[in-house]
């Protein structure tokens, strides 16, 4: 008797028994075209669904090696297969019974093409990790439906995942788009650019909670900023190049300033065909900066932006559990620089005004010896000239930035115009007459030391439970890490992987590491060994993250232990 027939009979024999009896089916089963592995069985119909894997040999799957011949193509193929499984599961599953009965689910991708642990492929096999809700009537096993789910529906799903059943042109286009986007990002630095927006791109989204493209005026670059690339698959591509240095995005309200910056903010990721932002490409080391009142700050040197506080309080090892707007924004800048960010992205709508600018009149009223804050406008040029860190700012309320800008782009009805010369002429005609208030030089503080101790993630002698709530927070034991304002996180699986990375950091014997080195070490390991190494269990919902977002989680952890 073959395994899959034995499984069907076993499920029918379990019919009517208590739900926990499902535990007996944990294991692996051979089907004619694949291997089914039941890795974890839920103990209750309302609990987290059971975790499964199917392994399909390439003799059956039939994917040509050229589709995953390099890292870029492999990630693109794994992404499109994840989407294919999700779509088929949505069409095929029949939800009936209590709790999660009948559920078939895989990690749900957004419009970004990301490395995920949901699908793996090599020359030997395809592996797909997903969840099923084992059927129940009340809290009793529904064996007949379970047999149909595991032995019939899963077989149909696998059939739909074979290369011969997939739309090959769509598959190829998805992979080629991802490879071209990676290629474009690699060209930016050699062309003196920090970002590129292709002609014809669609930037607006339908709403703040609907990321589908809103049909609108296709993007068209100003001639003076237009650049050309000859992509490996899409051929000649033109669009707006955003140069290194200091770039302002200006314009009236509702004309597309923040929309352009948001597209650049997410241009660190590749996007699926049809998203409209497939070829909005930003330097991979670009970081969105904002004010974030209430966040903790641990042993940061904020003296380049905040110094000589009243009562001789030091800011070279600044700590607080409840940062103000200007303090939190300063911390976000310093933390980004600690991880060697190359581009800062700033929208005045989400900044602390007193950190961005002090005009001449305010300088006259409140003299520098009474003002601890050094505004960003006085550090923005040293950031670029001394450290090579570019800035892109949405600025609609302060023309003082004209004097420090290299490029000024005006948005009018979502159309960009290069108004750099005009802005510089206005700055010359109407000088701000403000005094530069540059504070301490940036980058002179000693590194922070991360104190790693396994007991930091224990509660009453047991490992602390880790949970994730959407894109909002990670819960480590009893403490919540608020990530709701870390705007370059796009999938909850990134938070799960970050939580696992924090746990991994603390599983070694007590040690001390340079904070930035510790972050880079774990990212280097994941680059070599893969996301799956974050857990001994075959997790299917880890999604790739950057060093900046891992650091953001650690920096917002109120129990973080740092020394200098």
15 neighbors 69 (Cβ within 8 angstroms) = no
Domains contained in the chain, CATH given: 3-166 (no CATH), 183-444 (3.40.50), 449-563 (no CATH)
Residue 392 to residue 346: CA distance in whole angstroms: 6
Residue reference for tokens 């000589």: 308
Mean pLDDT, each 10-residue run in order, the chain (564 residues): 84 94 95 96 94 98 97 98 96 86 95 98 98 94 94 95 96 98 98 98 90 90 98 98 98 93 98 97 98 95 89 85 96 96 97 94 91 94 96 94 97 96 96 86 84 73 80 88 97 96 81 89 94 94 98 92 73
Residue 548 to residue 332: CA distance in whole angstroms: 10
β-bridge mates for residue 31, sequence order: none
Q: What is the pTM of this model?
A: 0.95
282 neighbors 267 (Cβ within 8 angstroms) = yes
N- to C-terminal Cα separation, the chain: 66
Find the helix packing angle between 547-555 and 515-529, rounded to 10°. Answer: 140
Under DSSP, the state recorded for 335 is H
Q: Determine how β-strand 343-347 pairs with β-strand 390-394.
A: parallel
pLDDT of residue 184: 98
**SS3 label, residue 549:** helix
Residues 6+ away with beta carbon under 8 Å from 307: 315, 372, 374, 439, 440
Task: For residue 534, give the nearest of 491, 504, 489 by alpha carbon.
Answer: 504
β-bridge mates for residue 95, sequence order: none
**297 alpha-carbon distance from chain centroid:** 22
Residue 289 to residue 321: CA distance in whole angstroms: 19
131 neighbors 2 (Cβ within 8 angstroms) = no
**For the chain, how many residues are written?**
564
Q: Which pair of structure tokens corresponds to residue 139?
A: 């809290």
Indicate if the alpha-carbon torsion angle 22, 532, 561, 557 is positive or negative.
negative
**SS3 label, residue 472:** coil
């Amino acid at each position: 008797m073959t395994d899959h027939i034995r499984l069907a009979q076993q499920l029918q024999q379990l019919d009517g028994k208590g739900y926990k009896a499902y535990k007996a089916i944990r294991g692996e089963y051979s089907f004619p075209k694949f291997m089914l592995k039941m890795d974890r069985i839920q103990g209750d119909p309302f609990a987290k669904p059971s975790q499964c894997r199917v392994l399909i040999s390439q003799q059956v799957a039939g994917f040509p090696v050229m589709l995953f011949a390099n890292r870029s193509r492999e990630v693109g193929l794994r992404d499109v297969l994840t989407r294919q499984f999700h779509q088929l599961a949505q069409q095929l599953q029949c939800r009936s019974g209590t709790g999660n009965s009948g559920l078939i689910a895989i990690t749900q991708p957004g419009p970004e093409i990301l490395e995920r642990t949901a699908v793996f492929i090599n020359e030997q096999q395809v592996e797909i990790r997903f969840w099923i809700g084992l059927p129940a009537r009340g809290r009793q096993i529904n064996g007949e439906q379970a047999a149909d789910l595991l032995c019939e529906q899963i077989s149909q799903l696998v059939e739909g995942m074979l290369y011969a059943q997939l739309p090959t042109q769509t598959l190829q286009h998805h992979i080629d788009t991802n490879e071209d986007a990676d290629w474009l990002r690699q060209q930016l630095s050699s062309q003196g650019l920090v970002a590129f927006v292709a002609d014809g791109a669609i930037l607006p989204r339908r709403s703040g909670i609907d990321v589908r493209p809103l049909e609108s005026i296709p993007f068209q670059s100003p001639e003076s900023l237009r650049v050309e690339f000859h992509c490996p698959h899409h051929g000649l591509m033109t669009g707006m190049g955003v140069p290194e240095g200091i770039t302002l995005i200006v314009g009236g309200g509702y004309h597309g300033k923040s929309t352009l910056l948001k597209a650049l903010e997410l241009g660190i990721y590749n996007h699926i065909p049809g998203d409209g932002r497939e070829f909005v490409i930003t330097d991979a080391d670009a970081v969105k900066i904002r004010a974030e009142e209430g966040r903790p700050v641990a042993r940061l040197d904020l003296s380049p932006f905040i110094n000589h506080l009243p009562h001789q309080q030091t800011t070279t090892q600044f700590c607080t559990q409840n940062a103000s707007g200007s303090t939190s924004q300063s911390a976000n800048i310093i933390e980004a620089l600690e991880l060697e960010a190359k581009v800062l992205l700033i929208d005045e709508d989400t900044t602390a005004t007193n950190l961005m600018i002090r005009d001449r009149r305010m300088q006259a009223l409140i003299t520098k010896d009474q003002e601890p804050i050094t505004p960003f406008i006085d550090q923005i040029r040293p950031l670029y000239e001394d450290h090579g860190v570019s800035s892109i700012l949405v600025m609609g309320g302060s023309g003082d930035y004209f004097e420090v800008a290299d490029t000024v782009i005006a948005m009018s009805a979502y159309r960009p115009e290069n108004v750099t010369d005009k802005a510089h002429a206005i700055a010359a005609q109407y000088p701000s007459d403000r005094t530069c208030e540059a504070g301490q030089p940036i980058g002179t503080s000693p590194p922070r030391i991360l104190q790693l101790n396994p007991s930091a993630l224990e509660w009453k002698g047991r490992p602390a439970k880790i949970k994730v709530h959407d894109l909002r927070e990670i819960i480590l034991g009893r403490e919540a890490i608020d990530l709701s304002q870390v705007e370059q996180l796009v999938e909850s699986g990134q938070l799960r992987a970050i939580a696992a990375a924090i746990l991994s950091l603390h599983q070694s014997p007590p040690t001390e590491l340079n904070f930035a080195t510790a972050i880079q070490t774990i990212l280097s390991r994941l680059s070599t060994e893969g996301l799956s190494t974050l857990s001994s269990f075959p997790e299917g919902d880890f999604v790739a993250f950057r060093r900046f977002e891992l650091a953001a989680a650690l920096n917002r952890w109120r129990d973080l232990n740092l020394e200098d």
